[in-house]
Amino acid sequence: MSQTIELAITGMTCDHCVRAITNAVQDVEGVTSAKVDLASNSAKVEGSVIDVQKILEAIEEEGYSATVR
Ligand code: 9UX
């Protein structure tokens, strides 16, 4: 089973932020795809059996804040 989660992210100001978050989220267990968009301050994460809390924590560890939307 595959699921898609949409996140609202705050704190991104440049492309390096996007890359840091993309890498952090892709390292979370179960995640198969992470698309982070700077202009809309959002991300679309796909995967199987995703632990949303782990994704939010991974983003926070990079210094940003995220919520599910
Ligand atoms: Mo760009 Mo983002 O220089 O925290 S990496 S602002």
Tell me the CATH number at 21: 3.30.70.100
- Measured in angstroms, how far is the CA atom of residue 45 from the centroid of ligand 1? 21
Residue 7 lies in domain = 3-68
- Measured in angstroms, how far is the CA atom of residue 3 from the centroid of ligand 1? 29
Protein residue closest via CA to atom 1 of ligand 1: 14
Give the type of residue at 10. Answer: T
Please tell me whether the overall predicted TM-score, pTM, comes out greater than 0.85 for this model.
yes
CB-facing half-sphere around the CA of 64: CA atoms within 13 A: 29
Instruction: Let me know: does 58 contact 31? Beta carbons within 8 Å.
Output: no
Protein residue closest via CA to atom 4 of ligand 1: 17
Strand partners for 36: 43
Percent of the chain exceeding pLDDT 70 equals: 100
Per-residue model confidence (pLDDT) at position 1: 75
Identify which of 47, 31, 44, 36 has the alpha carbon closest to the alpha carbon of residue 12. Answer: 36
Please give all residues whose beta carbon lies within 6 A of any atom in ligand 1, as ranges. 13-14, 16-17
Q: How many folded domains does the chain comprise? A: 1
